[in-house]
Chains A and B, each alone.
Chain A
Amino acid sequence: MNDFALIGPILAAMFAAATPLLFAALGELVVEKSGVLNLGVEGMMLVGAVCGFAVAVQTGSATTGFLVAALAGAATASLFAVLTLFLLANQVATGLALTLFGVGLSALIGQGFVGIPLEGLPKLYVPGLTDLPVVGQALFGQDVMVYLAVAAVPLVHLFLYRTRAGLVLRAVGENHTAAHALGYKVLRIRFLAVLFGGAMAGLGGAFLSMDYTPMWAENMTSGRGWIALALVVFATWKPVRAMLGAWLFGGVTILQLHVQGLGIDVPSQLLSMLPYLATVLVLVLISRDVARIRLNAPACLGKLFHPDA
């Protein structure tokens, strides 16, 4: 096999690897646009992953699995929402706690499911198109969740920038005092945003356990929740940029696997670090442009709001 023939599969794998990141990042983007910083993405992904997997194994229905994963992610997020929005707990501390909680809870639920194989989702096949060289597999040979994640990008964009509800959500994240003075229900809007973020993280996690590597293993998200958080900043809170970022990180992940496979003499640990090193590098580069961050970052991000104060 020559190197050129590898490009098709690499490209196809890149889109698949980007999908869990894209789900989680889009969800977190909406959460942060409403002014809430939920660092519990990793935990919500794990809970979604294990719940989706368990239900899919027992019912045999992938659809039910993904639905339950979204619900489980949202339920985990609601814990965070109640603590931070209504009980005014610190968002950073609560988010970290939520991740630790998710790691433990998912391990507990998943005890009886380790080592059980599951069949992944069927791949699309369009005669002619899927057989195209290089791009055929990547563009026309994926499964439904990959397409759903990409479809969610314009939907989230349209919601945020073209609908009134999206405008209100951005307003709440920009200046919650003013939004409250105008009569908007800041806490209710944030609560719904956090639930959405949880559901998306749950879907991202379930994509991993039910499709990408169809099996359950403890801590199988291995830091993807954190990369998704970094992606939101990388994207300066813009959905389309989040998608580009997810592809970039997906690409780095796949590339390091192939480099290992090609037997290039680099320690494999070093290569496994690549996606995370890329995250740090990109965040440093993005943070140099203070103006862009200031113009797009929700001004009330991470700030607690109490309607009577």
Chain B
Amino acid sequence: MPSHAETYPPDAPPPRLELRGITKRFPGCLANDHVDLVLRPGEIHALLGENGAGKSTLVKMIYGVLHPDSGTLLWQGAETVVPDPAGARRLGIGMVFQHFSLFDTLTVTENIALGLDNAGPMDQLAGRIREVSERYGLALDPGRHVFHLSVGERQRVEIVRCLLQDPKLLIMDEPTSVLTPQEASKLFETLRVLAAEGCTILYISHKLEEIRALCSRATVLRAGKVVGAADPRQETARSLAEMMMGAELSTPERPPQGAAGAARLTVRHLSTTSDNPFATNLKDVNFEVRAGEILGIAGVAGNGQAELMAALSGEALLADADAVVIEGTSAGHLGPRARRGLGLAFVPEERLGRGAVPELSLSENALLSGYAREPLVRGGMVHFARARAYAETIIRGFNVVAHGHRAEARSLSGGNLQKFIIGREILQKPKLLVVGQPTWGVDAGAAAAIHKALIDLARSGAAVLVISQDLDELFVLSDRISVLFHGRLSDSRPTHETSVERIGLLMGGLFGTPPDEDGEITRAV
């Protein structure tokens, strides 16, 4: 670490950015309440908080997407108003968004040009992109179309776009949520080099271990207010989480697994071909999930997770009926309803749109998948009283914070809606539950509740399949872990016999033997 990132003499230059009493109110909620924040030159500063704590609102105001209702912003000691993102870029503020602001059918150069105010001719820009990407070890081919790129490469596009403007402040919103551990550590090296060159980095992440490794200071937000500051290196992940929650964190215990029962789901030689050029085809995927166990499937997004979910749920029908066998019945050719009839329940990754209909009330959403196994419909007529009661049972049983069963699904926060959807599926007592990204974008408290519910379900004898990009989550939940890469699935390993590093290598495509002492690596794909 550079020394100037650790010591701050009193006669140091003014802070890069200082926020004083920033307040932002939305209809029905106070998103930021008199927030103060000081960012020094060349420091990597963490912004912590649960979902809805006001982190996104705050950085959007720094980047000029939103404007504060009151309070002042000082840029290098001078009071400044950031009118819009272009104004922020002129000041030297760059931002890497959580959901990449990239354009799939445009090239890397075109994408970067869109984020620059003085892009210049395209061929010169391509040269500058090569130069910067080499200097910071961010390999990129300027002429490629973005839809060809992996998620890690896409993030590099965003970062290079910011770097081309010589930023003095770089805002990173959840940058590693889609990266393998190895990609993440490469990113950290880049960030440390940048900070050493004097660039300030504001780093937002849920991953507390990362923040402890990377950041020298942290500001904690809760319910729109600054509730504390800390040196993350002096804290534990647990103490940071408790600061964010303002309560004690209860981590779910995973009781030792009993003898695994019969296979509830068997997948044999599952391959898919898609007309969609953005899709990843599955190639000869084989696995089984047994009663009483949780199988975790790791992998970086875009390696076939969506296609696997569709093939398992019945959203995509398979030519080979025997490729998916549920409870001994060949189900590859069956639609979602027929598969639910066999005992399958599933929670898709996409909460709004696949897991729930945003505009419908919770009781209507409960009905949508619940009627298959609960007596909510009689003779073709909806039994609304029972649907309401079922929704209320889910809301109570899974501590869903909502304005009753009438609340629209889209009015719930991500974590609460996810608890509701998972509750809806679990209360149907499925024999087999398939879950995609169960705690994506969900805060620590809700995540712990969801993990406990999944573990309890498995221990009660159901088979559970979890497809997730979050390795920490998979290591908490799974009895066995496999990795999906470029549409292929690795053999599974018992969780206690493997490590985050090893799974991380598999996520990067290193199937087969791990690297030996000479660093010799055999690539499977």
Contacts and interface: CB of A to CB of B under 8 A. Distances in A.
A167 B276 contact: no
A168 interface: yes
A167 B112 CA distance: 11
Interface stretch (A3-11, A126-134, A292-300): A292-300
Interface in B62-94: 64-65, 84-86, 89
A32 to B, nearest CB: 14
A181 B86 CA distance: 10
B113 interface: yes
Nearest to B109: A167
Interface string A169-181: 0110011011101
Nearest to B117: A183
B443 interface: no
A170 B106 contact: yes
B104 A174 contact: yes
Interface residues on A, range: 20 to 34
A171 B278 CA distance: 18
A291 B101 contact: no
A30 to B, nearest CB: 16
Interface in B88-121: 89, 97, 100-106, 110, 113-115, 119
A303 B500 CA distance: 41
A296 B105 CA distance: 7
B277 interface: yes
Nearest to B85: A183
Contacts of B102: 175, 178
A167 B110 contact: yes
Contacts of B104: 174-175, 299
B275 interface: yes
A294 B147 CA distance: 11
A182 interface: yes
A170 to B, nearest CB: 7
Nearest to B95: A181
Where chain B touches its partner, the secondary structure class is loop
Contacts, number: 57
Given A183-B86, A290-B276, A299-B104, A167 B97 contact: no
Interface string A137-179: 0000000000000000000000000001001101100110111
Contact of B114 (A167, A291, A294): A167
B276 A168 contact: no
A10 B53 CA distance: 71
B113 A167 contact: yes
The residue in B65, B102, B105 that gathers the most chain A C-beta atoms within 10 A of its C-beta is B105
Contacts of B115: 182
The residue in A171, A174, A178, A183 that gathers the most chain B C-beta atoms within 10 A of its C-beta is A183
B149 to A, nearest CB: 15
B277 A182 contact: no
Contacts of B119: 164
Nearest to A174: B103
Nearest to B115: A182
Nearest to A184: B114
B85 A171 contact: no
A118 B100 CA distance: 57
A177 B85 CA distance: 13
The residue in A168, A170, A175, A181 that gathers the most chain B C-beta atoms within 10 A of its C-beta is A181
B114 A182 contact: yes
B65 A181 contact: yes
B142 to A, nearest CB: 14
B91 to A, nearest CB: 13
A294 B85 contact: no
B101 to A, nearest CB: 4
Contact of B105 (A164, A181, A290, A295): A295
A164 B110 CA distance: 9
B277 A291 contact: yes
A144 to B, nearest CB: 34
Contact of A181 (B89, B101, B276, B277): B101
9 contacts: A167-B113, A168-B114, A171-B110, A178-B100, A178-B103, A179-B114, A183-B85, A290-B275, A296-B105
Given A179-B114, A295-B105, 13 more contacts: A171-B106, A171-B110, A174-B106, A175-B101, A178-B100, A179-B101, A181-B65, A182-B85, A182-B114, A291-B275, A291-B276, A295-B147, A299-B105
Interface of A: 164, 167-168, 170-171, 174-175, 177-179, 181-184, 290-291, 294-296, 299
